[in-house]
């Protein structure tokens, strides 16, 4: 099941559920998985509540959740803000998130998330 929801102040989120767990991705910032957990229970991912609903700007934010992090870690390359909206393609049981190309690095990220009865898959892609 896939449905559009508001989560932690971000109005453009997608929830996937298989009846046991659910996950929520936001298209307001990212690409980012904002929630993963058993239905009706706490989020297993970190939540940075004082950054709920924040968008825009040039400052890098933690936001919590799960994001694509490439290595080797090096500032400022791995700390590029992901504060802008991302495109979203909703497929059969999956969601593909693709942010704009990072102006400072030329890196194009993408994240595809799928959830079915047997588990969750998060595919990360990086193009330089």
**10 — pLDDT class (breaks 50, 70, 90):** very high
**68 — pLDDT class (breaks 50, 70, 90):** very high
- With CA atoms as reference, report the closest residue to 59 among 76, 35, 46, 72: 76
Average pLDDT in the 108-118 region?
94
Average pLDDT in the 7-33 region?
96
> Model-level pTM?
0.94
Contact between residue 108 and residue 31 where contact means Cβ atoms under 8 Å apart:
no
Give the whole-number percent of the chain exceeding pLDDT 90: 89
Q: Spelled out in words, what is the top-level CATH class assigned to the domain 2-127?
A: mainly beta
Average pLDDT in the 49-55 region?
96
């Amino acid at each position: 099941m896939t449905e559009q929801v508001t989560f932690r102040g971000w109005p453009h989120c997608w929830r996937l559920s298989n009846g046991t767990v659910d996950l929520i991705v936001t298209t307001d910032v990212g690409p980012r998985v904002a929630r993963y957990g058993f239905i009706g229970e706490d989020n297993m991912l970190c939540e940075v509540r004082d950054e709920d609903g924040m968008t825009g700007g040039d400052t890098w934010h933690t936001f919590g959740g799960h994001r694509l992090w490439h290595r080797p870690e090096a500032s400022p390359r791995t700390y590029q803000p992901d504060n802008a909206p991302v495109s979203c393609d909703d497929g059969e049981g999956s969601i593909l998130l693709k942010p704009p190309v990072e102006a400072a690095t030329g890196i194009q990220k993408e994240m595809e998330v799928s959830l079915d009865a047997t588990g969750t898959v998060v595919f990360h892609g990086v193009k330089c």
